[in-house]
Structure 1
């Protein structure tokens, strides 16, 4: 008589309280959010290479509801303390992706990627890409051009870094294009898997009507992290986010069989993060994939000018 094996249990994410800190990484499991301060968590971990990918969108010091605005020098010193703890814990084949915007001081913008570059240089990291994240929507500005992009700095620990562009190729603009001369005349000229997504990524930010929206005021879109996770790690490897928020990096990792550790100071966000990661592990996460086509706004009724018979307001 044949015996039917029960399927393995679906793993669940943990919330680790600071009082349960451990220097034994295995006790954190495959998916965990440390609810507490990132510096405390890092100091509780062994000072040895653990992470295959560190990806984060740290608080930008712009005075959001969940952060206290500090002078730029103080902010940079704080970021340096965090990175001094993180970088020694990245594997030699690993990468660090730090997504930042601008510090605004009396109407003057200060690009944080430029201000932070000396920190990464101090540790000997190698800048592989300065990825432009074009998100398309945001506040309008009356005193300068409205900002519609931020930056992802991708650094590798060494020259022996992991990178799999085939995992994140996107559809070619002209997939039927062929060589018109030479030994390959008549053959398709593009890669059959699609094209390299290049270093300007148009991925919508998480606004009120976004499928991933929670109550976090500055939420990281899963698709942005997903592209980094797929190209810079392999299944089973460890992704770390020291500012996990509502767990978007954990969702991206869980969707693709990567392990995840994160840290979130606020209990409310840590709880939401665990729930979202659990949904990803169960295969029911709601998210926007990195390769989803952008919505064509010309098809919206709002893009059409309707003749109401009224004079133009500027007439």
Structure 2
């Protein structure tokens, strides 16, 4: 499929992101949520690694088209990491921030996405977080707090007398839950249920959502953006759809979606996954479930004998 019709509930487009975006009506999308390639040599990126300047020049017109198709009260959630060249780290959100600000957009949150697992570095600290930039096109925008609230950490906490006689001794928290912070933790703790952070694991080999795509983000990340920044039947667009995560989250939430990807294999995977989620048969990790931590008596938690003595004070 090479065209995009924002009137359809689900449109999965095999095409170049820039060309497909140009065919979408201006101001039609309420939310754009995506994670563009990082230019780090993944199989879905260009035949050869671009210079940082060429990479940014490639994405700049795509960012401009995203701005054009976005409604005046719409949002963009741009999730990105780092470009690394000869061991030197270039935080990509820094460059994208400038692009969006130059278009007159306003940054509402710079969200830190932290996770426990990834490639280990040898000449610098191992990278364990990425960023999600939430921009709005104007001061009028959708923000639905209730669907993404997390439980209160201290539900029994009371107002002190310093707050005045009318509030003294009464619960200080909101019974619906509290506003999540701009720090979404991907750890082995039960953060989503007990703390004011969000706990979502990154998609690795044993993750139930894992497909042939080498760099998926979890559906819960897209789902939270969609629930917070849109309402039912709004249009969501992902110009770098990959394995279809944004489309799946949109279908689950009752939103319309246009997903674009230049790789026909990934579009095929996305079509299958969307069909499965509509049938209620797609294997997804439940939103809000904590990452499992190994118990102290499990073999993976034991210090290997091959490491010798005096490792953490144990044999």
Give the TM bin, normalised by the shorter chain.
0.7 to 0.9
Q: Structure 1 residues 222-231 or 112-121, which shifts more?
A: 112-121
1:98-149 Cα offsets, whole Å, 9 max, x none, are 0010000110100001022221011100000000011211111111111000
Matching residue of 1:246: 243
Cα pair 2:209 2:283 within 8 Å, conserved: yes
Cα pair 1:255 1:283 within 8 Å, conserved: no
Cα pair 1:222 1:289 within 8 Å, conserved: no
Matching residue of 2:170: 187
1:23-63 Cα offsets, whole Å, 9 max, x none, are x543xx210111111111112223x2110000000000000
Match of 2:180 among 192, 197, 210: 197
The 1:120–1:311 alpha-carbon spacing in structure 2 relative to 1, beyond 3 Å, is closer
Matching residue of 1:106: 86
Cα pair 1:52 1:91 within 8 Å, conserved: yes
Between the aligned partners of 1:265 and 1:282, the Cα distance in structure 2 is 26
TM-score normalised by structure 1 residue count = 0.87
Between the aligned partners of 2:267 and 2:40, the Cα distance in structure 1 is 22
Q: Structure 1 residues 192-201 or 295-304, which shifts more?
A: 295-304
Q: Structure 1 residues 199-208 or 291-300, which shifts more?
A: 291-300
1:182-237 Cα offsets, whole Å, 9 max, x none, are 33222221111111111011221100010101111001210111110110000111
Match of 1:207 among 204, 208, 226: 204
Matching residue of 1:159: 139
Offset, 1:280: 1.9
Match of 1:281 among 257, 278, 281: 278
Between the aligned partners of 1:246 and 1:118, the Cα distance in structure 2 is 28
Unaligned runs of 5+ in 1: 1-16
Between the aligned partners of 1:300 and 1:127, the Cα distance in structure 2 is 46
The 1:143–1:25 alpha-carbon spacing in structure 2 relative to 1, beyond 3 Å, is same
TM-score normalised by structure 2 residue count = 0.87
Cα pair 2:72 2:137 within 8 Å, conserved: yes
Cα pair 1:30 1:259 within 8 Å, conserved: yes
Report whether the alignment pairs 1:35 with 2:18: no
Give the superposed CA RMSD.
2.1
Unaligned runs of 5+ in 2: 186-199
The alignment partner of 1:226 has SS state of helix
Q: Structure 1 residues 240-249 or 287-296, which shifts more?
A: 287-296
Between the aligned partners of 1:307 and 1:145, the Cα distance in structure 2 is 23
Q: How many matched pairs?
A: 293
Matching residue of 1:272: 269
